[in-house]
Amino acid sequence: MARIETMTSRERLCKALNHEIPDRVPFDLGGNQTGIHRKAYQNLIGYLGIRDDIRIMDAVQQLAQPCERMLERLHVDTRYVSAGAPESWKGGIVRAERDGKVWHDLTDEFGVRWSMPEDTPNYMDITLHPLAGATLADVRNHPWPKGDDPSRFAGLRERALRLKKDTPYAVVSGISGVVYEICWYMRGLEQWFCDLMTDPEFCEAMIEETLRFWMDWFRLFLDEVGDVVDVIMIGDDIGGQNGPLFNPAVYRRLVKPRHKRLVQYIRSRTDARIWYHTCGSCLSFIPELLDNGIHILNPVQVSAARMDPDELKRRFGRDLVFWGGGCDAQHVLPCGTPEEVAANVRRNVTAFMPGGGYVFNNVHNIQGDVPPENIVAMYDAAYECGFYA
């Protein structure tokens, strides 16, 4: 029997975020952490018979901008709006030759160089950490970008209001608030982990600079759209496949106070729900994240250790909205049959959806090797089993 939708997308999402029961589970696709790789997108629109030019909305992850026709076919309830780069940033992808290879390079505002080899153009990885050999004095003298450059936000309010007033969809921000990860982007992951154990003063100086950037950024962002957006996406990866990426005591001492200051500032300026993104096994951090003041956890990596959907819902379902966790993205979605994908989706959605507090999405971005029939099977299965009545 065909199910009947009785809510708009925005109404549906807001009900779920308030831990109330909507007509069906709301769906998401198209953000920096819930997107689709350009190769998978090209295959998917071909499979569905949809014509669209491939537009890259995230160069580092090589994510495509989904077209409206595809989003409507998959019953997606969210639409994204993002601030831009400042006029002073002379970014852009340049072609370079190093080590006998041709690279496509992008140097971000913090001086981090991201590179993609021309012969395997799948993603960009970091090939230059600008503070790899820095001293504490170098950190303090570094030309940190200005978060409150007004040119970042030119036209933002108009774009957000257009979505709010002219469409039925929920309005979600692009990724922001990356307080912790930018430090290791600039330093190098191995060196940063050594710093955490041996030089806390250096780490505090780094993270204070990134926090200052984001506090300044959010001051202007919230001036522009704090009354318009429904969800604000922030995040730092703090979990790995088998557990925390670093000692939770270090998180509590060094990172958590900065996370909490940022979250509490955002909450003081808007009624939008705050989504926190961390991959991996993050169970140990969930009480800390809730204490910081977040509302939503993404991407809910159900294939990581101690991330069982039933247990997560039982322990935290009253306080936390789970956004993601729709299908095992490591094993089932890329490698399973459509029937196996559908079964995995039904199992996860059934665990997460009771009582509201759930938004459906794949775990993180849909990667380039995922077959289009599996993507369709994932969303169709979630739609079939996601109605509450």
Which domains are present in the chain?
Answer: 9-89+130-385 (3.20.20.210)
**59 has pLDDT over 80:** yes
Say if residues 143 and 64 touch (Cβ distance below 8 Å).
no
Tens digits of per-residue pLDDT, 84-132? Answer: 999 999 889 999 999 899 999 999 999 999 999 999 999 999 999 999 9
Question: Beta partners for 37?
Answer: 63
Q: At what angle do helices 372-385 and 338-352 cross, to 10 degrees?
A: 40
User: How far is 210 from 292, CA to CA, in rounded Å?
Assistant: 18
pLDDT interval class at 290 (50, 70, 90): very high
- Angle at CA of residue 46, ends 39 and 60, nearest 5°: 20
Say if residues 237 and 181 touch (Cβ distance below 8 Å).
yes
Say if residues 320 and 287 touch (Cβ distance below 8 Å).
no
The model's pTM is 0.97
User: What is the per-residue pLDDT for 90?
Assistant: 86
Strand 56-58 to strand 63-64: parallel, antiparallel, or no bridges (unpaired)?
antiparallel
Sheet of 78-81, strand order: 78-81, 170-176, 231-235, 273-277, 296-298, 321-323, 358-359
What does R_g of the chain's alpha carbons equal in angstroms? 20
One-letter-per-residue 3-state SS of 255-317? HHHHHHHHHHHHHHHCCCEEEEECCCCCHHHHHHHHHHCCCEEECCCCCCCCCCHHHHHHHHC
Q: Which amino acid is at 86?
A: P
Task: Please enumerate in sequence order all residues whose Cβ is within 8 A of that of 228, keeping only pairs 6 or more positions apart, or say none.
Answer: 157, 160, 161, 164, 171
Question: Beta partners for 232?
Answer: 274
User: What is the per-residue pLDDT for 180?
Assistant: 97
pLDDT interval class at 1 (50, 70, 90): low
User: How far is 205 from 202, CA to CA, in rounded Å?
Assistant: 5
